[in-house]
Structure 1
Amino acid sequence: MDNSFKALIDSSLEVLILLTQKPNLDKVAAGLSLYLSLLSSGKNVTISCSTPMTTEFSRLIGVDKVTSNLGDKNLTIKFINYNAVDVDKVSYDIENGQFKLTVSPKAGFKSPNQDQIEVSYAGGGSDFIILIGGTDESDFPVLKYPDFVGSKIIHLGTKLLEIENKDLQVLSFAKAASSTSEIVAGLIKEGGFIIDPDIATNLLAGIESESKNFQSTDVSVNTFETFTELLKLGGLRMTKVQPNSFPQGAIPNKPFNQVQILSTLKPQLKQSENVSSMTPEEAEEEIQQDIPPSWSEPKIYTGTSVS
């Protein structure tokens, strides 16, 4: 049996990409890139996360496609503000090829009114699940649902995923790398899937963020080669904030009052240096020269006549 990434994708009908709880930018970028690539390849794919997306990820392309739902296979009907114990039985029938659902209340109780009926779609109908990031199954709370038993599950990340639930069979594609985005970029390339400029841009952002601008010890030659290829494919690096993007005066271009302070102190410092280098005799002579001549003249005081 071929367990390559491409073979698993090709044999799947519906793909669910699950992001770890509270993912960082790298994990979201990797998941979105894979989602966009498989979508462009004609796959029925959903990307989901149990925690909401924050403004940190707003610069990633396609982030609005991340949902908290696990799919729309099952139609769910819910009665809002209606006591469930008032229901006697639920039955269905098919009339003229149309499905009919009947909810019968107990004697003496009313049926739910139309305003109390809420219709939604839920439930994982995916036969192939891709886990992005994480270190153990607690990072993916939805794995406890019975819907996933029997589904093919793979894991992508830089660390192995520990699974205690023996009913879940997880094939790991985890390996050492600068980021999960680097791993996803390699798998998309090996599988011959699409990498357009939007996908490349997301992957660049993930690699650069997780590698701390290539300062991480996990950065390798493959990291730089992957980054270069993504740039050639039309990927754009996230623009860094420049000082000229702020209003004039918002960012000081020199230390506060430095020029004013130095210009005030320089004459005093110079005078202090000169005085400290003088002998006592020279200092006394300097003081005598600075005294105005009128100070040494005799003073004549005259009284004020009072008539």
Structure 2
Amino acid sequence: MSTAALLVLAMMLDALAGEPRWLWSRLPHPAVVMGRAVHLLDTRLNSAPAARAKGVLALALLVVGAGLLGWVLAHLGWVVQVIVAAILLAHRSLVSHVADVARGLRQSTAEGRRAVRLIVGRDVTTASDAQVARAGIESLAENFSDGVIAPAFWFLVAGLPGILIYKVVNTADSMVGYLTPRHAQFGWAAARFDDVLNWVPARLTGALLAVVGGVTGHRAQISADAGLHRSPNAGWPEAAMARALGIALAGPRSYHGTVEDLAWVNGAGRRDIGPPDIDAALSMVWKTWGLALCLVVLAGVLMCVF
């Protein structure tokens, strides 16, 4: 069975089943296992001198280990490959969490803050309804890229080794890639390699969202807005979604009690947003997921023909 066919089955399984609580309440989720591995290496290796070199070594160990594990699992048959790939995709769980933000806001600002706090790292203690909605939509756009399209892309390119390597690098970046005093040197390699692995998927996600949102004619504006984002990749899906919905994303927000005056993405867009805009973003992401699925099917057909 071709890699494209396996990916189609994995995407459909993830969309239908999501993250079954009965399973992950009994077994550690692969993301948890990866996190433990990153934490272990951080604890054992992150020290001066040569913290950056040790970070490179830690990343190499994670990549080699994930690649070998993927190679072994790939030899256990197509059923195992589909199940593992579905587990490592995160579309259903992502849209469920963001839908909870819309439902929370419809009840009260406090419920919206509680729901969005589960999916963002910023301080939302005093966030307004618009800020909560904006945080939810930004998380949806960014995580649709690095939690769905990117792992699907790397599975299509390199099978289970590819998707496992991508996921462990992405996990490492989320844990040690931030420029904190402790991880400024040790996390450098993880952050830079994550940027490399997300370069194509982020722009692909932006293009797919632009097609679905009917804003392909705004390529120059989307590119300019993406360049304003502090991330070299996250700006692309956010900019495409902002243009399609006619809203402004990013902008000032608080981290650990400090307000960061970040640039707006599509700054001329509407800033007074709420649950209906989250609903529109979710609908857009589902349609984009469907377009991506169709493209994978087409890739599978072309593989068979050629």
TM-score, normalization by structure 1: 0.22
Q: Which has the higher helix share?
A: 2
Q: Which has the higher strand share?
A: 1
